[in-house]
Copies of this chain bind each other. A is one copy, B any other.
């Protein structure tokens, strides 16, 4: 039976982008199913007492270098759009609205967002731009725009974020193989071993 990997990420997270590049092939090779779960990391930062990674002196400069180096190793670019980081609420809300109808479309939307935002370095975070991405996947543009303002969808994202925090998620990307948590785009090897062996 396929194992489900929970993949939590923030749409404004460069390491989330790097994980999104790798996870599909990784999961396919291991007959795993991935449950994509965008969250707003701000709530976790408050709970933990941390701040966005790139805002720290020294650590932020290193992270920028590490992100670019890792991207190059993966054969992709990671470009930070002008004004990074942006508010990615519309993308996260739109994702859940799409997922309620068709999980695959929601994943395609997430990949398209990440590709536009970090792959091409374009600020696709405004609601109108996220709606363009969704429309490019055949989604009704007006319905998407209405959804991201829908109180029920807003609450849905808050609930997903709260549930993630409750589960111990404090960074992006963050994975669960069963109940085992893995943080970071550099934990695919350990996760592979966990999937194969059932843990150690």
Q: Which residues of A contact B (CB under 8 A)?
A: 44, 47-51, 56-59, 61-62, 65-66, 69-70, 72-73, 165, 168-171, 181, 183-184, 186-187, 190, 193, 200
Instruction: A165 to B50: give the CA distance in the assembly, Å.
Output: 21
- CB proximity of A87 to chain B, nearest CB, Å: 23
Q: What residues of chain B lie closer than 8 Å to A49, measured between beta carbons?
A: 51, 56-57
Mind listing 21 A-B residue pairs with CB under 8 Å?
Answer: A44-B58, A47-B57, A48-B58, A49-B51, A49-B56, A49-B57, A50-B59, A56-B170, A58-B165, A58-B168, A58-B169, A61-B168, A62-B181, A62-B183, A65-B181, A66-B183, A69-B200, A73-B190, A73-B193, A73-B200, A186-B187
- Bound complex: CA A189 to CA B62 (Å): 18
Q: Which of B62, B70, B168 contacts A62 (CB 8 A)?
A: B168
A61 to B44, CA, bound (A): 14
A65 nearest CB neighbor, chain B only: B181
B170–A69 touching, CB < 8 Å: no
Residues in B neighbouring A69, C-beta threshold 8 A:
190, 200
The smallest C-beta distance from A127 to any residue of chain B, in angstroms, reads: 30
The residues of B that contact A70 with a CB separation of less than 8 Å are 190
CB distance from A188 to the nearest CB of B (A): 11
Further 14 A-B residue pairs, CB within 8 A, beyond A44-B58, A58-B165: A47-B58, A48-B56, A49-B51, A50-B50, A56-B170, A58-B170, A62-B168, A62-B170, A62-B183, A65-B181, A69-B190, A70-B190, A73-B200, A186-B186
